[in-house]
Structure 1
Amino acid sequence: MPTDISTPTDIADLSLDAARPDRPAWGAVLSMSLGVFALVTAEFLPASLLTPLAEGLQISKGAAGQAVTATAFVALITSLLISTLARGLDRRIVLMGLSMLLIVSNLIVAAAPGLATLLLGRILMGVALGGFWSLSVATVMRLVPENAIPRALAIMFMGVSAATVLAVPVGSYLGALVGWRGVFLAATGLGVLALLVQFLTLPALPAQGNGRPGILLEVLRRPGMGIGMIAVLLVFAGHFTFFTYIRPFLENVTGVGVEGVTAILFAFGLANFAGTYLIAYVIERSLWLALLLMPLVMAALALLLTSFGGAAPLDAGMIALWGLVFAGVPVAWSTWITRTIPDQAEAGGSLIVAAINFAIASGAGLGGVALEIFGPRGVFLISGLILAAATAIILTRIRAR
């Protein structure tokens, strides 16, 4: 019996399948991974250089910290607007333009004489970060055949994991050697390398989908998208409630010093890097199972740490396991987007980036209140409850194609 393919989404699926390459362009995928590595490294640098940055510009640490706030806020706005603003433009040109913006941003920060120039550089950084992230998932799915998408996304997100592991400790180390301005110049060099590799490997990528104003609301109204974005928000909010306040837990509950905290967080980062590689194999077998198990395991870990935390080896092991499991979250949800709305993957990527940035703000804010009222164990308890709610929604409401 012939299959009915008369619906618009099915027709879009066919056109997208026809546009996908027969062979994966792994060089181009690696260029995307290098691009996000350069972006996320630059995003994290102010956190590792906050004290010398503030002293060098003769401003308070609180004022210097606004560089992080400005980047996140602008990234959120850019993620919602990039598909409309770049409508009709070849995505190769747009991505390379955003990489050039990253380079300019780092140069401005490296030469900043004061707070105003610092914030200007970080605002440009926010545009580059939000724009590149929003387009990245849709770009990767056009570089490889459909069956290779999970692995390609995992390779791209390895750039994030690598930045998570290296940016803060390496930034602090280099800052002591060459000063904070020298570190941003080094980040500029990394951006130049990413741009060069993109120039050499990215093929022409004519605009696809519909970038008209209002498309995000239209996509949200599609079956399953609204509840999916709620699940995304809860999973990431649960994680950032946990991770933002992990240091007070390790210091006050586990009872380790600065060296212990550093070692545990480094182990978290290494496990996160490994998890980014392993998740592709799980997704290839069952995307829905991957979506379900990750918040379930994280919720269990949060509740175990709340109830039994206090022994350094046990806590370190559970936190490393958290890093391993969480690594798969952005990969799995990005894959869900490519399968749920393949004809509007850019709009879906924008919604994911916006949800993550909102989750960072809300998770950190909620965790801060909980820390003041209930202490570190209370923060982890709330994180576990949020993740349990996400698990329930995924179990009952989310379906994966």
Structure 2
Amino acid sequence: MDIATTSNTRIGPVAAWGAVLSMALCVAMLIASEFMPVSLLTPMAEGLHATTGQTGQAISISGLFAVAASMIITTAAGTLNRKMVLVAMTALMLLSLVVVAAAPNFAVLMIGRALLGICIGGFWALATAVIMRLVPGRDVPRALALMYGGQAIAAAFAAPIGSYLGDIFGWRAVFWALTPIVAGNLVWHMIALPSLPASQRQNFRTMFSLLTRPYFLRGLIAAMLSWGSAFTMFTYLRPFMEQVTGVDVATLSILLLVLGCAGFAGTWAAGRFVSGNVAPLLRLPALLMGGCTLGLLLFGGSVAAAGLILALWGATNTAMSVIWMTWMSQNAADAPEAAGSLMVAAIQASILLGAVIGGLLLDGLTIVATFIGSVVLAALAIGLIGSGQRLLKSDR
């Protein structure tokens, strides 16, 4: 069977679910690599002789380079086969992990995180467009949910295991432990992904054209506010748990495991219920996750209450990605790679700003101020989204 197609058609009548699973593992490793510093923030700061807020910028620097890579990669890749681009991005993630694990000082750590940012931006810019080519149109939400199942896996196990193993073996050992998994994923990509030839060269004009569509621009800003709210809180969750909830490392690991395992429920729900008109669902992530952050501010002194709140936050976090990427696939189907580049740039920019602003509030004021900033961003997102109808293509 000839699996090569044009950019506007699927790979073939049979969905390439093995390739989708390979991408799901890559997502798990990307999420684990990107946000592992969250569970290791305090020991990393101590080991590198930096403040907690400064070490939080290990996440913001990867976000900065991810923004740049996401805007450039689809154009820079030209007519390169998208399979080889994804393989190259995974190889870059492997290199990044080695650099971070062996970093002798804070500056080298930042270099390793910058390399990871390039990988993040490049992979995510292409991911949704590739999924749209791997499966029939009716299966895209299901395939997206499966791919983002990797996010749930990472959220469930990476942070608690990272926190636990980091306390026993040191934070460097945690990053070293990820390298053989990424190496195996690299081989799986080469075997499972079909050839994905680019039938036409992407350019910045297509991106600018999308930004002139009011519904898409509104959606992009709303997504930025939603993710910005989420990661202003999540990046500095460990300091909050230590200072306000008063947990030790073992309890922190359990709470992070609760948060992560709840992500499986969010992924399942998104795969089952996200289809057709997504407008009513668009404000749900900001509403629930902002409410969870507010709940932590009010009841975060109780370990039991914090556990219940983090479970709801974790379920909504994984569902958020499926909801917004389904919105993108439905409302920018004529330019999926350009739309993917803009979405990834917007999301990574919001993660970057969340880490920067949250770190400044933490170092300059208190962890409570950081969480209040998260709630404010969520409220702005909810106000912009409204019923969601103004973010749909049919309402231009």
Report the TM-score range of the alignment, normalised by the length of the smaller protein. Answer: 0.7 to 0.9
Is residue 61 from structure 1 mapped to residue 54 from structure 2 by the alignment? no
Secondary structure at the residue paired with 1:89?
coil
Identify which of 75, 83, 102 aligns with 1:92.
83
CA RMSD across the alignment: 3.2
Give the drift of 1:70. 3.5
Matched residue type, 1:292: R
Deviations 1:84-126 (A, max 9, x none): 1111111001111111222233344455555665444333222
Is residue 171 from structure 1 mapped to residue 162 from structure 2 by the alignment? yes
Identify which of 104, 121, 125 aligns with 1:130.
121
* Residue of structure 1 equivalent to 2:275: 284
Deviations 1:20-76 (A, max 9, x none): 5322211000010111222232333455566776788xx523587665443232222
The percentage of aligned residue pairs carrying the same residue is: 40
* Residue of structure 2 equivalent to 1:149: 140
Give the drift of 1:321. 1.0
Matched residue type, 2:130: T
* Residue of structure 2 equivalent to 1:9: none
The 3 A distance-change label for structure 1 pair 124 and 291 is same
Q: Distance in 1 between matches of 2:228 and 2:100?
A: 30
Is this contact kept in 2: 1:238–1:384, CA < 8 A? yes
Normalised by the length of structure 1, the TM-score is 0.83
* Residue of structure 2 equivalent to 1:342: 333
The 3 A distance-change label for structure 1 pair 99 and 249 is closer
Matched residue type, 2:150: G
* Residue of structure 1 equivalent to 2:253: 262
Q: Distance in 2 between matches of 1:390 and 1:324?
A: 19
Q: Distance in 1 between matches of 2:315 and 2:262?
A: 5
Q: Specify the structure having the higher radius of gyration (Cα).
A: 1
Q: Distance in 1 between matches of 2:356 and 2:339?
A: 26
Secondary structure at the residue paired with 2:78?
coil
In the alignment, structure 2 segments of 5+ residues that lack a partner are none
Matches within 5 A, 1:65-214: 67-112=58-103, 117-175=108-166, 182-208=173-199, 210-214=201-205
In the alignment of these two chains, the number of paired residues is: 386
Q: Distance in 2 between matches of 1:140 and 1:182?
A: 33
The 3 A distance-change label for structure 1 pair 97 and 303 is closer
* Residue of structure 2 equivalent to 1:398: 391
Give the drift of 1:272. 1.8
Matches within 5 A, 1:303-318: 303-307=294-298, 310-318=301-309
The 3 A distance-change label for structure 1 pair 47 and 288 is closer
Q: Distance in 2 between matches of 1:54 and 1:306?
A: 25
Is this contact kept in 2: 1:75–1:126, CA < 8 A? yes
Normalised by the length of structure 2, the TM-score is 0.84
* Residue of structure 1 equivalent to 2:263: 272
Matches within 5 A, 1:372-383: 379-383=370-374
Give the drift of 1:161. 2.3
The 3 A distance-change label for structure 1 pair 176 and 361 is closer
Q: Distance in 2 between matches of 1:104 and 1:367?
A: 28
